[in-house]
């Protein structure tokens, strides 16, 4: 069984991939989508979205990272994929799940699930542009408004040459609202010959177990659950039931282990993001951690109104996350 770390534009970037794969438990991560629209993406774009390309397409902890492409034009997608492939990613993934109106208006992401022929053309063109043996996957939802074409879409992608499918088990219309229809992952797996990974609404080890039982899938991709609970993959691997996660002693041990990772995340964010935007990124993650850790609430309250990196440093020192002696960010 494998656990995959989901692509999440605007949330799960290089900094968060770094720290979550340090905690461990993940076999593979996928970058946020690189949108191909009107022009072939240059190397520098891919290097920015995936600094892991400089390290053999792996996070510093060694987890392989696939880079995700989003777009509707088979030719531009293929040429962009060729540029990307020359940089040596651990694989290439295609996005047919993004529900964002700005993306969908330009025929990108989930709206293409109404056009299985287009999916097929994109997959064929990208496959042809990749070196033999480079892992090539696609991530899809169940449809735009309903599941009527889900199997056609899955077959179109598999016939087009993807060697793995990730199924986010909801339609575009369903957004991110529970439930995820895990039974559809099984139906899709029955219709194609490639491995199918289940995704959607796995927040706990118990969810993971139910998702596998209902879908029949071996492999599961974790999204929001992974961000709000950085130890989720590790606990799943340890065979700890979901209830164990609520043990206060375990939670406080995990929070202590998280402290240096929060410090590292803050450093990585500051290295890449303009100063005035950096506090927002930290607040975003700490805000999501509140779902799992009571201590995150106090930290979040202390950070909430801050705008200056120096003020954030001071709060992190007060909460024992940054050592007072650590050089504070300029
Ligand atoms: C903020 C956010 C950004 C996302 N960005 C992407 C993306 O760039 N590419 C993609 O394929 N899916 C994206 N997704 C979808 C997730 O990868 C995943 O399929 C979805 O969140 C369901 O899994 P979950 O219930 O475990 O979170 C995004 C989801 C969220 C909430």
Render pLDDT for 29-75 as a digit per residue (tens, 0 to 9). 999 999 999 999 999 999 999 999 999 999 999 999 999 999 999 99
Dist. CA 122 → ligand 1 center (Å): 21
The verdict on 144 and 281 lying in the same domain is no
Q: Are residues 187 and 93 in the same domain?
A: yes
> Is 160 part of a structural domain of the chain?
yes
Taking residue 178's Cβ as centre, other Cβ atoms within 10 Å add up to 9
Q: Is the separation of the CB atoms in 245 and 204 below 8 Å?
A: yes
Tell me: pLDDT of 262 over 80: yes
Residue 325 pLDDT: 63
Is residue 287 included in any domain, yes or no?
A: yes
Exposed/middle/buried for 53, CB within 10 Å: 0-12, 13-18, 19+?
A: buried
pLDDT at 327 over 90: no
Query: Would you say residue 328 has pLDDT above 60?
Result: no
Question: Which is nearest to 188 in space by CA: 160, 210, 161, 157?
Answer: 157
Which among 67, 164, 153, 76 is positioned nearest to 110, based on CA atoms? 153
> Helix or strand or coil: residue 302?
helix
For ligand 1, whether the C-beta of 229 sits within 6 Å is no
Query: What average pLDDT does range 258-282 have in this prediction?
Result: 94
Instruction: Indicate whether 328 belongs to any domain.
Output: no
Is 195 within a domain? yes
Domain region containing 311: 247-318
Q: Which of 226, 243, 260 is the last residue of a domain?
A: 243
Instruction: For residue 211, indicate whether it is catalytic.
Output: no
pTM of this structure: 0.96
C-alpha closest to that of 92 among 149, 54, 53: 53
Show which of 211, 243, 275 is a domain's final residue: 243
- Which of 5, 6, 207 maximizes ligand 1 atoms within 8 Å of its Cβ, making it the mutation to test the pocket? 6
C-alpha dist (Å) from residue 223 to 106, 148, 199, 205: 25, 25, 8, 14
Q: How many CA atoms lie within 13 A of 41 on its CB side?
A: 28
Distance (Å) from CA 329 to ligand 1 centroid: 31
Do 11 and 127 belong together in one domain? yes
Is the separation of the CB atoms in 195 and 166 below 8 Å?
no
- Is the pLDDT confidence value at 147 over 50? yes
As a whole number of angstroms, the distance between CA 14 and CA 65 comes to 10
Query: 168 CB under 6 A from ligand 1?
Result: yes
Question: In what helix (H) or strand (E) does residue 45 lie, and over which residues does it extend?
Answer: helix 43-49
In this prediction, residue 104 has a pLDDT band, given cuts at 50, 70 and 90, of confident
| Crossing angle of helices 248-272 and 294-303, rounded to 10° | 30
Q: Is residue 169 domain-shared with residue 29, that is, in the same domain?
A: yes
Report, as an integer, the average pLDDT of 311-320: 96
CATH of the domain at 37: 3.20.20.70
In the set 98, 124, 153, 211, the catalytic residue is 98
Q: Is the CB of 223 under 6 A from ligand 1?
A: yes
- Please count the structural domains in the chain: 2
Q: Burial-class residue 82 by CB neighbours within 10 Å (0-12, 13-18, 19+).
A: middle
- Percentage of the residues of the chain whose pLDDT score is greater than 70: 98
252 and 181 in a single domain? The answer is no
Quick one: 189 and 259 in the same domain?
no
76 & 183 share domain: yes
165 found inside a domain? yes
* Residue 330 falls inside a structural domain: no
Does any ligand 1 atom lie closer than 6 A to the CB of residue 263?
A: no
User: Percentage of the chain with pLDDT > 90?
Assistant: 88
**Residues 175-194 pLDDT 10s:** 999 999 999 999 999 999 99
> Is residue 207's pLDDT more than 60?
yes
Whether 279 and 131 map to the same domain: the answer is no
Q: Ligand 1 atom 10: the closest Cα is on which residue?
A: 7
Confidence label for 330 from pLDDT (cuts 50, 70 and 90): very low
Task: Please give the number of the atom of ligand 1 that sits closest to the Cα of 70.
Answer: 9
């Amino acid at each position: 069984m494998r656990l995959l770390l989901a692509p999440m534009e605007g949330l799960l970037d290089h900094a968060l991939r770094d720290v979550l794969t340090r905690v461990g438990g993940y076999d593979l991560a996928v970058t946020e989508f690189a949108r191909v629209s009107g022009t072939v993406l240059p190397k520098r774009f891919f290097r920015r979205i995936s600094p892991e390309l400089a390290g053999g397409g792996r996070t510093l902890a060694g987890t392989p990272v696939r880079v995700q492409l989003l777009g509707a034009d088979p030719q531009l997608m293929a040429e962009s994929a060729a540029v990307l492939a020359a940089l040596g990613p651990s694989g290439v993934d295609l996005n047919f799940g993004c529900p964002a109106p700005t993306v969908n208006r330009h025929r990108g992401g989930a709206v293409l699930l109404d056009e299985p022929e287009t999916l097929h053309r994109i997959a064929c063109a990208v496959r042809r542009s990749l070196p033999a043996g480079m892992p090539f996957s696609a991530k899809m939802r169940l449809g735009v408004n309903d599941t009527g074409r889900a199997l056609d879409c899955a077959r179109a992608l598999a016939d087009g040459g993807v060697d793995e499918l990730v199924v986010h088990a909801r339609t575009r219309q369903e957004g991110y609202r529970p439930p995820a229809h895990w039974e559809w992952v099984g139906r899709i797996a029955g219709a194609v010959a490639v491995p199918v990974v289940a995704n959607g609404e796995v927040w706990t080890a118990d969810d993971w177990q139910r998702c596998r039982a209902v879908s029949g899938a071996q492999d599961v991709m974790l999204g929001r659950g992974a961000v709000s609970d950085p130890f989720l993959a590790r606990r799943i691997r340890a065979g700890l039931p979901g209830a164990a996660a609520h043990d206060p002693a375990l939670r406080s041990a995990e929070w202590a282990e998280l402290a240096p990772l929060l410090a590292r995340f803050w450093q990585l964010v500051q290295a890449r993001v303009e100063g005035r935007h950096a506090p927002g990124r930290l607040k975003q993650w700490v805000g999501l951690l509140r779902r799992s850790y009571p201590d995150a609430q106090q930290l979040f309250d202390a950070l909430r109104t801050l705008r200056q990196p120096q003020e954030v440093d001071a709060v992190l020192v007060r909460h024992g996350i940054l050592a007072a002696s650590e050089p504070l960010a300029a």
